[in-house]
Amino acid sequence: MLRIRTVVAIAAITLGTLAGMANTSHANDACCCPPAPIQVTLCVQAPCSPCAQSVTVCIPGCCTEAPTVCWRSGLFGRQIATYTWPCCGHSVKVIVNRRGDAKVRG
């Protein structure tokens, strides 16, 4: 009785492995590849600053909608903007220091 269960278990594992291999054979098809990353230029203007800056960021190609932006205050007088693309869940932080220099994080 134990041997029959062992044979059945091994057969199930083998069939499951073969089915998994069959599913991965389509992974190299052109239709399954994710789109290439794209570069986007953001116009960043801190809430208390009259000047705007252009910042170029690289985002996934599936992010097609416009991003939402949320500003908050950081340490040492910095302003931090979080740009989030709701369609793909990608987010980028842009940090603007007191002198107006912008740096991209994430």
Chain segment 6-60, per-residue pLDDT in tens: 333 344 444 344 444 444 444 455 567 778 889 989 888 877 778 888 999 999 8
| 55 and 82, same domain (yes or no) | yes
Q: Are 6 and 28 found together in one domain?
A: yes
* Total structural domains within the chain: 2
Residue 58 has a pLDDT of 92
Within this chain, do residues 8 and 45 fall inside the same structural domain, yes or no? no
pLDDT at 81 over 90: yes
Banded model confidence at residue 99, pLDDT cuts 50, 70, 90: confident
- C-alpha pair distances (Å), 84 with each of 11, 15, 42, 58, 78: 47, 43, 12, 13, 19
pTM (global) more than 0.85: no
Place of tokens 């399954």: 32
Range of the domain at 78: 38-105
